[in-house]
Amino acid sequence: MPGVYGLPEVYYLPAYVITGNLQERGTANGGTVAISHIDEHNKPTMVDVSGKDNTRRSARAETYVSFPPEVYAQLQAAGMQGKKGPIIDTAIIAGVMAAKRTHDLIPFCHPLPIECCNINIDEVPERTALRITAHVRVTHKTGVEMEALTAATMAALTIYDMCKALTHDIVIGDTRLLSKRGGKSAVGQP
């Protein structure tokens, strides 16, 4: 059966689901865990959260935007101002906008009434980089990990866009979830 771009489905599924039941995957301790976005017919589906209670949830994510040393020095000397305008402020706005639109970008994310989205962008001179941290909060039936990751990533992409006239040797990387609270599990430090 054709999948994305006419390729067989097996080509775009994660490696752990290629050979077995798509609803289960192995864990480090040898057990299995259900994959929530796969139905009983091994088809992708949005998770039904209608039976869940609203709870307070939060997530923090980070990513880095690294520059060649001479470009980083140039940006610092210009007060992080580029030809397109204030780099940091524009990236913060883009990150907040992205958090609110995550459900439009990632297929199985639920639309959420984001209550708070804070984006911090700090200079990291020893890495000739900017560190972007996104903290998102909501009171709802599902978590906001993807919203935090999307916010941080879109802020990084915006920085790239605003600085690409200086160089294309900009690296976006080390994107990760720092923490999540609420729901069934907690990850990282609050």
Residues serving a catalytic function are 161
**Direct distance between the N- and C-terminal alpha carbons of the chain, in angstroms, rounded to an integer:** 44
The 3-state secondary structure of the chain reads CECHHHCEHHHHCCHHHCCCCCCEEECCCCCEEECCCECCCCCECCCCCCCCCCEEEEEEEEEEEECCHHHHHHHHHCCCEECCEEHHHHHHHHHHHHHHCHHHHCCCCCCCCCCEEEEEEEEEHHHCEEEEEEEEEEEECCCCHHHHHHHHHHHHHHHHHHHCCCCCCCEEEEEEEEEEECCCCCECCC
Pick the closest to residue 106 from 154, 139, 170, 62 (CA basis): 154
